[in-house]
């Protein structure tokens, strides 16, 4: 068996204690982090290696964005794609050595506040990012798992209120359609929704603005784990650790984990 987790950590250095807590208590074989918000030499590599995660692929930049994949199993970095087309650190891919699996770790741009590329450059950049991902996916020929913060909640049951969020970036029809084209380009299987079936509520993010996130429960599913069809057939379990949203100095996202029979 092989387990892979994904988590937008919102600063790897600031949230190192809860990363350590998660790795100690849940021990995934591979953990993919987004928004590490540090340069590669600043990443807490030694602390995570001390917990057994000595195999690491880190793609960082100063202060913003950044992704990192850490593993108890040997991994080999195979790609860093600039789907933002401006040098931002938003992707790293690794091969799990000795296992027939590529793990792509991605942080899709949030897209700003206004869902109109004519008045909001960031929204246009998000759509273009997804189109570049789609062209890449169309050429894939290896068992691949792509995980991370997609910053899109595609289904009505992925948000706390479908009608209220239709014009809010992350749940607009245009974003959902663009993400669907990416999904179709490789026949991706949405692992989370294989185990937590629509229309069951499934969230991975709750705003910091809510004083009591659990009572308020205005969540969205922004984080995803999608697999090539043959790889998806080997998925045996999937879960969301909502309790992590209540840990000390939490991220506004929570970890997802999938276990594969590999």
pLDDT score for 134: 98
Give residue 197's pLDDT. Answer: 98
Mean pLDDT over the full length of the chain: 98
Which pLDDT score is estimated for 162? 98
Rg (CA), the chain: 17
Q: Quick one: pLDDT at residue 258?
A: 98
pLDDT of residue 148: 98
CA dihedral sign, ordered 36, 14, 70, 224: negative
Q: For strands 189-190 and 223-227, give the pairing.
A: antiparallel
What is the pLDDT, as a whole number, of residue 156? 98
Give the residues of the chain that fall short of pLDDT 70: none
Residue 192 CA to residue 260 CA, distance in Å, equals 13
- Nearest in space to 127 (alpha carbons), one of 115, 141, 143, 144: 115
Chain centroid, CA 167 distance in Å: 23
Instruction: Give the position of tokens 């992925």.
Output: 158
In this predicted structure, what is the pLDDT of residue 115? 97
Strands 75-79 and 67-71, how do they pair? unpaired
CA-nearest of 64, 69, 63 to 106 is 69
pLDDT of res. 36: 98
Topology (CATH level 3) of domain 2-260: Deoxyribonuclease I; Chain A (3.60.10)
Output the pTM of the full model. Answer: 0.98
């Amino acid at each position: 068996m092989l387990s892979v987790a994904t988590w937008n950590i919102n600063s790897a250095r600031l949230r190192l204690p809860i990363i350590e807590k998660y790795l100690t208590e849940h021990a995934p074989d591979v953990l993919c982090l987004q928004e590490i918000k540090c340069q590669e030499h600043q990443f807490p590599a030694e602390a995570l290696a001390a917990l057994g995660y000595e195999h690491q692929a880190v793609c960082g930049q100063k202060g913003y964005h950044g992704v990192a994949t850490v593993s108890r199993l040997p991994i080999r970095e195979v790609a860093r794609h600039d789907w933002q087309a401006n040098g931002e650190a938003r992707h790293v891919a690794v091969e799990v050595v000795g296992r027939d699996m590529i793990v792509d770790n991605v942080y899709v741009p949030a897209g700003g506040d206004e869902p109109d590329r004519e008045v909001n450059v960031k929204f246009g950049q998000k759509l273009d990012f997804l189109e570049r991902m789609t062209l890449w996916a169309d050429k894939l020929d290896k068992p691949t798992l792509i995980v991370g913060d997609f910053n899109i909640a595609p289904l009505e049951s992925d948000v706390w209120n479908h009608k209220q969020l239709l014009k809010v970036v992350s749940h607009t029809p245009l974003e959902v359609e663009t993400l669907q084209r990416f999904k179709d380009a490789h026949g991706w299987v949405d692992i989370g929704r294989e185990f937590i079936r629509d229309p069951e509520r499934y969230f991975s993010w709750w705003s910091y603005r809510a004083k009591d996130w659990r009572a308020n429960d205005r969540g969205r599913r922004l984080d995803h784990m999608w697999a090539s069809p043959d790889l998806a057939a080997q998925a045996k379990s999937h879960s969301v650790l909502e309790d992590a949203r209540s840990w000390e100095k939490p991220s506004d996202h929570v970890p997802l984990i999938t276990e594969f029979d590999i």
